[in-house]
Amino acid sequence: MTQGRAAPLRQIRTITICPNTVLAFLGFVSVLFMFRLGAVGALLFLGVGGALIVRRPNANLAALWRDGWVLALPLWCGLTVLWSAYPALTLRYGVQLGVTVAVALVIANRLSPQTLLRTVFVALAVAALASVAIGRARLDGGGFLGIYGSKNAFAQVMALFVIAGLALGLGRDGTNPWRVLGLLSVPVGLILLARAQSVGWLLAVLMAVVAGFVFALMRRFHRRYRLFSLGLLVLAIVAALLVAWLNQDALLAWVLDVTGKDVTLTGRTYLWLTALSEFARHPLGGQGYQAVWVVGNPVAESMWREFGIASKTGFHFHNTWLSNAVEIGAIGVALQVVIFLTALFTALWRVLKVTRSDTLFAAMLMVLLSVMSMVEVVGFQQFQIVTMLIVIIASQGRGRQEG
């Protein structure tokens, strides 16, 4: 009698779901859908943030203590309630900014950079799909809005989608499915970005994409030569800027002809002059966090009337630093500059040290935001994904990993 051979055991494939990743994903989705969800989105974000914090309260409090310098910004924004013309709004939005920054710091210390990028990418993909499925265009044919209230808001999210996908494709550190998904998302994001008809975001994304390829090519160089290569790139940019400055009249005429803009860049120069005038009235402390574009404020009312903004919403000075200087003064902007430059320099330093998908994304993102901060308000607002990403990059650049 022969003994039968035992049947081989079937391999059981298990899928591990990290609660931190799920909560972070829900947090990003809630801010991406904030325009649609309104108060429900804010409550979802607060609930997700609370759940993240209470999961490991001691570790999270330690992380917040380590990055306490970032919290100086929302504290200052809240302090402007003392001289704000609309103290209730300033206090409310200041607290919300503090929660947004705190949740971003917790995410930065709970997720690894690679997991963070994939989580952000999936959240952006959901926003892109929702925009295609239920989005809408402006009635005047001035661009696609998606699930957002303005074409620039939609364009910003699609710009993030493009560079996140490209980073996954160029990083070479992920599995093939992630790389394929990332590369496929690039043309989709560019098409949607083109539909938004936002020339500024489209040009800035192209610059970020070029920077991404340059950073990816640097992986072929020895580490000691990467800084030298980056120095040559910076010198080339400075030289190009100098040539542009010397030929600014001809260059401006060409840009206006290509983009179809008028000589005021669709009124931006007038807005910038107004912002400088308002900043001069309250140079140190500003007029109060988010206390300018409020119904009843004479400056806001005159700008809305000048530009025909009947809804009296979704408008600003179209420059991150000027707009924020009017609200929180030179002291507040100085705090923002410190956070922004920390994120920028650490992102560039990390991509020079090692070229991975997450370092490529951080570097491209900071290049993108550096360009767009001159013509749009791109950060340091409550319940905003860009604000969260700037804070996360500044924090993770200091060497923290998933804990």
pLDDT digits (tens, 9 = 90+) for 226-265: 666 666 666 766 676 566 555 555 655 555 565 555 444 5
User: In this predicted structure, what is the pLDDT of residue 402?
Assistant: 38
* Percent of residues, the chain, with pLDDT higher than 70: 82
Contact (Cβ atoms closer than 8 angstroms) between residue 383 and residue 93: no
> Which residue matches tokens 């504290």?
75
Mean pLDDT to the nearest integer, 163-190: 91
**CA within 13 Å, CB half, 47:** 10
**143 falls in which pLDDT band (50, 70, 90)?**
confident
Q: Which residues contact 179 (CB under 8 A, 6 or more apart)?
A: 168, 169, 171, 172
The answer, yes or no, to whether residue 62 has pLDDT greater than 80, is yes
pLDDT band for position 119 (cuts 50, 70, 90):
very high
All residues at 6 or more sequence positions from 171 whose CB lies less than 8 Å from its CB, including other chains:
179, 355, 356, 357, 358, 360
Assess contact for 358 and 171: CB atoms under 8 A: yes
Amino acid at 68: G
Please tell me what DSSP assigns to residue 146.
Answer: E
Give mean pLDDT, residues 343-350: 91
pLDDT digits (tens, 9 = 90+) for 18-29: 888 999 999 999
Contact yes or no for 402/345 (Cβ under 8 A): no
3 state DSSP class of 31: helix
Give the pLDDT confidence of 301-316 residue by residue, as tens digits.
Answer: 888 888 887 777 777 8
For the whole model, what pTM was predicted? Answer: 0.87
